[in-house]
Amino acid sequence: MAVKIRLARHGKKNYAFFHVVVADSRAPRDGRFIERIGSYNPNTNPAIIELDSDKALNWLMNGAQPSDTCRRILSYKGILLRKHLQEGVKKGAITQEVADQRWNAWISEKEAKVSNKKNSLAQSKNEKKRAILESEKQVNEARAAEIEKRKREEAEALAAAKAEEAAANQEESASENTETEN
Protein backbone atom coordinates (compact mmCIF):
# COMPACT_ATOMS: atom_id res chain seq x y z
CA MET A 1 0.00 0.00 0.00
CA ALA A 2 1.52 3.34 -1.10
CA VAL A 3 0.94 6.05 1.49
CA LYS A 4 0.67 9.72 0.47
CA ILE A 5 0.61 12.94 2.44
CA ARG A 6 -1.84 15.17 0.61
CA LEU A 7 -4.58 17.77 0.94
CA ALA A 8 -8.29 17.04 1.40
CA ARG A 9 -10.51 19.94 0.32
CA HIS A 10 -13.13 21.40 2.66
CA GLY A 11 -15.00 24.68 2.88
CA LYS A 12 -17.33 26.61 0.63
CA LYS A 13 -17.18 27.25 -3.07
CA ASN A 14 -14.45 29.83 -3.82
CA TYR A 15 -13.40 29.72 -0.14
CA ALA A 16 -11.66 26.41 0.32
CA PHE A 17 -9.46 25.28 3.15
CA PHE A 18 -7.67 21.99 3.34
CA HIS A 19 -6.87 19.22 5.80
CA VAL A 20 -3.40 17.73 5.52
CA VAL A 21 -3.99 13.99 5.65
CA VAL A 22 -2.08 10.75 5.33
CA ALA A 23 -4.01 8.48 2.96
CA ASP A 24 -3.71 5.46 0.74
CA SER A 25 -2.76 6.70 -2.74
CA ARG A 26 -5.71 4.82 -4.24
CA ALA A 27 -8.29 6.57 -2.01
CA PRO A 28 -10.24 9.54 -3.44
CA ARG A 29 -9.10 13.09 -2.66
CA ASP A 30 -11.79 13.78 -0.05
CA GLY A 31 -12.35 10.13 0.79
CA ARG A 32 -10.96 7.77 3.38
CA PHE A 33 -7.69 8.65 5.07
CA ILE A 34 -5.44 7.09 7.66
CA GLU A 35 -4.66 10.12 9.82
CA ARG A 36 -5.23 13.89 9.79
CA ILE A 37 -2.00 15.68 10.64
CA GLY A 38 -2.92 19.33 10.08
CA SER A 39 -4.77 22.01 8.18
CA TYR A 40 -3.98 24.65 5.58
CA ASN A 41 -6.01 27.84 5.04
CA PRO A 42 -4.82 29.80 1.98
CA ASN A 43 -7.56 32.44 2.33
CA THR A 44 -5.58 34.58 4.76
CA ASN A 45 -2.39 36.54 4.21
CA PRO A 46 -0.03 34.96 5.20
CA ALA A 47 -1.67 31.55 4.87
CA ILE A 48 -2.43 29.72 8.12
CA ILE A 49 -0.72 26.35 8.35
CA GLU A 50 -1.30 24.19 11.42
CA LEU A 51 0.68 20.98 11.34
CA ASP A 52 1.63 18.30 13.84
CA SER A 53 5.30 18.22 12.92
CA ASP A 54 6.11 15.08 14.93
CA LYS A 55 3.42 13.02 13.18
CA ALA A 56 4.41 14.40 9.78
CA LEU A 57 8.07 13.62 10.42
CA ASN A 58 7.18 10.11 11.60
CA TRP A 59 5.17 9.43 8.43
CA LEU A 60 7.95 10.83 6.23
CA MET A 61 10.56 8.69 7.98
CA ASN A 62 8.33 5.63 7.43
CA GLY A 63 8.18 6.29 3.68
CA ALA A 64 5.07 8.37 3.06
CA GLN A 65 5.38 10.45 -0.12
CA PRO A 66 4.03 14.04 -0.03
CA SER A 67 2.15 15.53 -2.96
CA ASP A 68 3.74 18.58 -4.61
CA THR A 69 1.67 21.07 -2.61
CA CYS A 70 2.21 19.19 0.63
CA ARG A 71 5.94 19.05 -0.10
CA ARG A 72 5.94 22.86 -0.28
CA ILE A 73 3.96 23.11 2.95
CA LEU A 74 6.27 20.68 4.73
CA SER A 75 9.28 22.58 3.43
CA TYR A 76 7.78 25.90 4.58
CA LYS A 77 7.25 24.49 8.06
CA GLY A 78 10.78 23.00 8.08
CA ILE A 79 9.75 19.37 8.41
CA LEU A 80 11.74 18.32 5.35
CA LEU A 81 14.82 20.02 6.84
CA ARG A 82 14.20 18.18 10.09
CA LYS A 83 13.93 14.88 8.19
CA HIS A 84 17.20 15.66 6.40
CA LEU A 85 18.91 16.39 9.72
CA GLN A 86 17.55 13.18 11.27
CA GLU A 87 18.86 11.15 8.34
CA GLY A 88 22.26 12.75 8.91
CA VAL A 89 22.09 11.69 12.56
CA LYS A 90 21.19 8.13 11.53
CA LYS A 91 24.17 7.97 9.18
CA GLY A 92 26.49 9.41 11.81
CA ALA A 93 27.37 12.54 9.81
CA ILE A 94 26.25 14.85 12.65
CA THR A 95 25.23 14.45 16.26
CA GLN A 96 21.71 14.94 17.62
CA GLU A 97 22.80 18.13 19.46
CA VAL A 98 24.09 19.70 16.24
CA ALA A 99 20.90 18.70 14.43
CA ASP A 100 18.75 20.25 17.18
CA GLN A 101 20.88 23.39 17.16
CA ARG A 102 20.52 23.82 13.37
CA TRP A 103 16.79 23.12 13.61
CA ASN A 104 16.28 25.74 16.36
CA ALA A 105 18.31 28.33 14.43
CA TRP A 106 16.21 27.73 11.32
CA ILE A 107 12.95 27.98 13.31
CA SER A 108 13.92 31.30 14.92
CA GLU A 109 14.92 32.73 11.53
CA LYS A 110 11.65 31.58 9.97
CA GLU A 111 9.56 33.07 12.79
CA ALA A 112 11.37 36.39 12.35
CA LYS A 113 10.57 36.41 8.62
CA VAL A 114 6.89 35.65 9.25
CA SER A 115 6.56 38.33 11.93
CA ASN A 116 8.26 40.88 9.64
CA LYS A 117 5.80 40.04 6.87
CA LYS A 118 2.84 40.40 9.23
CA ASN A 119 4.16 43.75 10.46
CA SER A 120 4.71 45.04 6.93
CA LEU A 121 1.20 43.95 5.91
CA ALA A 122 -0.30 45.68 8.95
CA GLN A 123 1.75 48.82 8.27
CA SER A 124 0.69 48.97 4.62
CA LYS A 125 -2.94 48.47 5.68
CA ASN A 126 -2.63 51.38 8.12
CA GLU A 127 -1.02 53.57 5.44
CA LYS A 128 -3.87 52.82 3.04
CA LYS A 129 -6.43 53.73 5.71
CA ARG A 130 -4.54 56.95 6.44
CA ALA A 131 -4.44 57.86 2.74
CA ILE A 132 -8.17 57.18 2.36
CA LEU A 133 -8.97 59.30 5.43
CA GLU A 134 -6.75 62.11 4.12
CA SER A 135 -8.49 62.09 0.72
CA GLU A 136 -11.90 62.08 2.43
CA LYS A 137 -10.79 65.01 4.57
CA GLN A 138 -9.76 66.97 1.47
CA VAL A 139 -13.08 66.19 -0.24
CA ASN A 140 -14.99 67.28 2.88
CA GLU A 141 -13.00 70.52 3.08
CA ALA A 142 -13.72 71.22 -0.60
CA ARG A 143 -17.43 70.54 -0.04
CA ALA A 144 -17.48 72.81 3.03
CA ALA A 145 -15.78 75.60 1.04
CA GLU A 146 -18.30 75.16 -1.79
CA ILE A 147 -21.22 75.26 0.66
CA GLU A 148 -19.79 78.37 2.32
CA LYS A 149 -19.35 80.02 -1.09
CA ARG A 150 -22.95 79.17 -2.03
CA LYS A 151 -24.23 80.58 1.29
CA ARG A 152 -22.29 83.84 0.70
CA GLU A 153 -23.67 84.10 -2.84
CA GLU A 154 -27.21 83.47 -1.57
CA ALA A 155 -26.73 86.05 1.18
CA GLU A 156 -25.39 88.58 -1.34
CA ALA A 157 -28.26 87.82 -3.72
CA LEU A 158 -30.75 88.21 -0.85
CA ALA A 159 -29.12 91.48 0.19
CA ALA A 160 -29.20 92.71 -3.42
CA ALA A 161 -32.86 91.71 -3.69
CA LYS A 162 -33.65 93.58 -0.46
CA ALA A 163 -31.73 96.60 -1.71
CA GLU A 164 -33.67 96.53 -5.00
CA GLU A 165 -36.92 96.15 -3.09
CA ALA A 166 -36.00 99.04 -0.83
CA ALA A 167 -35.02 101.14 -3.85
CA ALA A 168 -38.30 100.22 -5.56
CA ASN A 169 -40.22 101.08 -2.39
CA GLN A 170 -38.43 104.43 -2.22
CA GLU A 171 -39.25 105.15 -5.85
CA GLU A 172 -42.90 104.23 -5.26
CA SER A 173 -43.08 106.38 -2.19
CA ALA A 174 -41.32 109.20 -4.03
CA SER A 175 -43.71 108.91 -6.99
CA GLU A 176 -46.68 108.81 -4.58
CA ASN A 177 -45.36 111.91 -2.88
CA THR A 178 -45.05 113.71 -6.22
CA GLU A 179 -48.57 112.63 -7.20
CA THR A 180 -50.01 113.79 -3.93
CA GLU A 181 -48.29 117.13 -4.31
CA ASN A 182 -49.75 117.63 -7.78
Q: Is 151 inside a domain boundary?
A: no
pLDDT above 90: percentage of residues in the chain: 43
pLDDT, one tens digit per residue, over 123-136 is 998 999 999 999 99
Predicted confidence at residue 8, as pLDDT, reads 92
Average pLDDT, stretch 138-167? Answer: 89
Q: For residue 182, is pLDDT > 60?
A: no
Q: Give 19's strand partners.
A: 8, 39
Average pLDDT, stretch 88-117? Answer: 89
Mean per-residue pLDDT of the chain: 88
Name every residue whose Cβ is closer than 8 Å to that of residue 33 and which is 6 or more positions away in sequence: 8, 21, 22, 23, 24, 27
Q: How many domains does the chain have?
A: 1
Query: Rounded to whole angstroms, how far apart are CA atoms 98 and 149?
Result: 76
Q: For residue 179, is pLDDT > 80?
A: no
Predicted confidence at residue 162, as pLDDT, reads 86
Q: Is 122 inside a domain boundary?
A: no
Query: What is the CATH number for 7?
Result: 3.30.1320.10
Give residue 19's domain range.
3-79
Q: Is 99 inside a domain boundary?
A: no
Q: Is 161 inside a domain boundary?
A: no
Q: Is 22 inside a domain boundary?
A: yes
Predicted confidence at residue 180, as pLDDT, reads 66
Q: Is 93 inside a domain boundary?
A: no
Q: Is 105 inside a domain boundary?
A: no
pLDDT, one tens digit per residue, over 77-93 is 989 999 999 889 888 88
Average pLDDT, stretch 10-36? Answer: 89
Q: For residue 114, is pLDDT > 90?
A: no
Q: Cis check for the bond before 42: say yes or no (omega within 30 of 0).
A: no
Contact (CB, 8 A) for 65 and 52: no
Q: For residue 68, is pLDDT > 80?
A: yes
Q: Is 29 inside a domain boundary?
A: yes
pTM: 0.65
Predicted confidence at residue 31, as pLDDT, reads 80
Predicted confidence at residue 5, as pLDDT, reads 92
Three-state SS across 7-52? EEEEEECCEEEEEEEEEECCCCCCCCCCEEEEEEECCCCCCEEEEC
